[in-house]
Structure 1
Amino acid sequence: MTQDKSYTTEEIANLLRISKLTVYDLIKKGELPAYRVGRQMRVDAADLEAYKARAKGAYSRQPSYMVPPVPQEQPPAMTRNIIISGQDVSLDLLANELEKQEDSFRALRSYVGSINSLIAMYRGEADVVSTHLYDGDTEEYNVPYVRRLLSGHSYLMVNLVSRWAGFYVQKGNPRKLGSWEDLKKPGIIMVNREKGSGARTLIEEKLRQHRITGREILGYDREEKNHLAVAGAVARLEADVGVGIEKASLMVGVDFIPLIRERYDLVIMKKKENELLIHSIREILSSTSFRQALEAIGGYDLTHTGEVMYETP
């Protein structure tokens, strides 16, 4: 039956021909009722039809003698949807802890890369974004990019974790890959990350530093959307090398060559309505339970977790 059917946010985006971020914005504003099933947000078919009818102005044309529809379950009036954008599993833990700690927040996840996350924040489509963007000119992570992309805004940047980034190579490293210059070895096949991701930015900056162009590397045009997919391509012998974080190599079963310790930071806009959000997140980052959960996953350096890395006046 129609009333029993529900849709994922991706299906809603396809049906309405809008982006997933627009769907999240409708949910955030309370215009499209949604509920969580595991890590996934779902929208009932009846609520979707009601939203479409409102958008067309249909409700204003209903005769007064009609029986009103049965009210759908709504989140509490004071509940605020918080969109946390980024791909690392540590963000899923953060989302869960935020809902446990503060009843007035409902944490929604958006799994997009660092640059697209910052662009979404600039547009008002994300509340907490993660970023691990390496700048080759300053040898610094995140601050140069955030200052450019969020120019004119007031924000706080706090460290979530640090982690190793490097090469995924086949077991035993048969091609003897250990440095960025090795990508120029004859016959080396690479698998790349998508444009806008932190890993892709690292690759482009390091190649620029070493005066290597993408067209010199076989497979440079092949793009995957996450670390596991890159490591998986290497494991299946479809490529000799890919770039990502250590954790994915352990999950897939390829060797990992560490090259750089990257800083994975959170960015939150400094505005009055975010005061409780900032306070809650900083409390979570400093809590023993959250740190223990991160340590259980493995692969993270928590030395600077919770530390403010940059803050505008």
Structure 2
Amino acid sequence: MTNELSYTIEEVSQLLKVSKLTIYDLVKKGELPVFRVGRQMRVDANDLDIYINKQKTNQNQKFQAPIVHHSRNETKETYNIVISGQDMVLDILGKHIEKNSPFKALRSYTGSLNSLISMYNGECDIVSLHMFDGDTKEYNLPYIKKILVGYPYILLNLVCRKAGLYVQKGNPLNITSWSDLHQGNIQIVNREKGSGARILLDEQLRINNISPRNINGYQHEETNHLSVASAIAAGTANVGVGIEKVSKIVDIDFIPLITERYDLVMLKTPDNERLIHSVKEVLSSRQFQTEVASLGDYDTSLTGTIMYETY
């Protein structure tokens, strides 16, 4: 495996034939070293070989989760945490958490539902959610209650933002609502299963009695808002679900249809008390809220509000 200098998390998961979340869990526990290139984590090929050989020779031996840094006469323990989700606001959150706490923020760019399941399995520390429930018209909590069964947790608002439909410049097909998606001349580009945008689309199709089989392009999936918007800008599709911010980056039109609550959920365990305190402090700080608001298209009026908490 030493032909390559380094691997992405996805490449490592393919080589080891396990999920990306399993790799993130190894990184979080300190068992697999990583380094960053911009926003992307990479694994050195030699480190991967060392990990594999260690599992062969001594499967019971584990590395310690804390990463210990020695600076002159001081010893500082840094604890890896995994923040799951795709919005750029999560990168800002991670940066602020690292400033005044012992936590090092690692990022998993995974959709809401899969992230929540990974939290249930102990593989994520902070999960971001924007999952719409068509029956209650509520965001996130209906799903959390069904998945985090038996776990105490806290749900905090990160931001609110507009979600809706990306369309080509000038909206040539005059798309104005979810019910327009059944038109035969519409070619959609979809998000991957488990993402908040995919859940929003599927719930709206159900509410409007539209069968996915009647949606041209329903099987065409992309893994992030930017890829969906880019497909529409390039003309390979003419409508997709996403958030307002990205439409301005790609310069396409956006039809706002719903205000979604983008929340954070954390498990309430003794080990997580300090992390929860740090996240609360960051979300309520003027510095964080000002930085997020300066990006535009994010509503911080609820940021830091406890939306739900179990004991």
Q: Tell me the TM-score normalised to structure 2 length.
A: 0.90
- Return closer, same or farther for 1:296/1:233 CA change in 2, 3 Å cut-off: same
Equivalent position to 1:151, from 149, 152, 155: 149
Instruction: State the AA in 2 paired with 1:101.
Output: N
The CA distance in 2 between the partners of 1:33 and 1:238, in whole Å, is 39
What does 1:25-44 correspond to in 2, within 5 Å?
25-44=25-44
Residue of structure 1 in register with 2:175 after alignment: 177
Residue of structure 2 in register with 1:282 after alignment: 280
Residue of structure 1 in register with 2:206 after alignment: 208
What does 1:93-132 correspond to in 2, within 5 Å?
93-102=92-101, 104-132=102-130
The CA deviation string for residues 9-61 of structure 1, in whole angstroms up to 9 with x for no partner, is 3333233222222222222222223333432333333332322222111799x
Instruction: State the AA in 2 paired with 1:252.
Output: V
Residue of structure 1 in register with 2:239 after alignment: 241
- DSSP 3-state at the match of 2:297: coil
The CA distance in 1 between the partners of 2:169 and 2:268, in whole Å, is 46
Q: Percent identity?
A: 57
- Return closer, same or farther for 1:18/1:248 CA change in 2, 3 Å cut-off: same
Higher Cα radius of gyration: 1
Residue of structure 2 in register with 1:160 after alignment: 158
Contact 1:90 1:294 in 2 (8 A): yes
- Return closer, same or farther for 1:8/1:75 CA change in 2, 3 Å cut-off: farther
Aligned residues: 298
Contact 2:184 2:216 in 1 (8 A): no
Contact 1:53 1:59 in 2 (8 A): no
Residue of structure 2 in register with 1:302 after alignment: 300
- Return closer, same or farther for 1:214/1:35 CA change in 2, 3 Å cut-off: same
The CA distance in 2 between the partners of 1:21 and 1:223, in whole Å, is 20
- DSSP 3-state at the match of 1:297: coil
Residue of structure 2 in register with 1:91 after alignment: 90
Equivalent position to 1:266, from 264, 267, 273: 264
The CA deviation string for residues 159-178 of structure 1, in whole angstroms up to 9 with x for no partner, is 00000001111111111110
Residue of structure 2 in register with 1:193 after alignment: 191
The CA distance in 2 between the partners of 1:224 and 1:179, in whole Å, is 22
Contact 1:190 1:218 in 2 (8 A): yes
Contact 1:165 1:262 in 2 (8 A): yes
Q: Tell me the TM-score normalised to structure 1 length.
A: 0.90
Residue of structure 2 in register with 1:24 after alignment: 24
Instruction: State the AA in 1 paired with 2:152.
Output: S
- DSSP 3-state at the match of 1:178: coil
Structure 1: state its 5+ residue gaps. Answer: 61-73
The CA distance in 2 between the partners of 1:224 and 1:11, in whole Å, is 18
The CA distance in 1 between the partners of 2:16 and 2:178, in whole Å, is 44
Instruction: State the AA in 2 paired with 1:115.
Output: L
Instruction: State the AA in 2 paired with 1:121.
Output: M
Deviates more, 1:209-218 or 1:268-277: 209-218
CA RMSD after TM alignment: 2.0
Residue of structure 1 in register with 2:15 after alignment: 15
Deviates more, 1:195-204 or 1:215-224: 215-224
Residue of structure 1 in register with 2:229 after alignment: 231
- Return closer, same or farther for 1:181/1:33 CA change in 2, 3 Å cut-off: closer
- Return closer, same or farther for 1:51/1:252 CA change in 2, 3 Å cut-off: same
Structure 2: state its 5+ residue gaps. Answer: 61-66, 70-75
Contact 2:177 2:257 in 1 (8 A): yes
- Return closer, same or farther for 1:217/1:17 CA change in 2, 3 Å cut-off: closer
- Return closer, same or farther for 1:170/1:156 CA change in 2, 3 Å cut-off: same
Contact 1:164 1:245 in 2 (8 A): yes
- Cα displacement (A) at 1:75: 4.2
Instruction: State the AA in 2 paired with 1:215.
Output: R
The CA distance in 2 between the partners of 1:170 and 1:31, in whole Å, is 46
- DSSP 3-state at the match of 1:78: strand
Instruction: State the AA in 2 paired with 1:22.
Output: T
- Cα displacement (A) at 1:273: 0.5
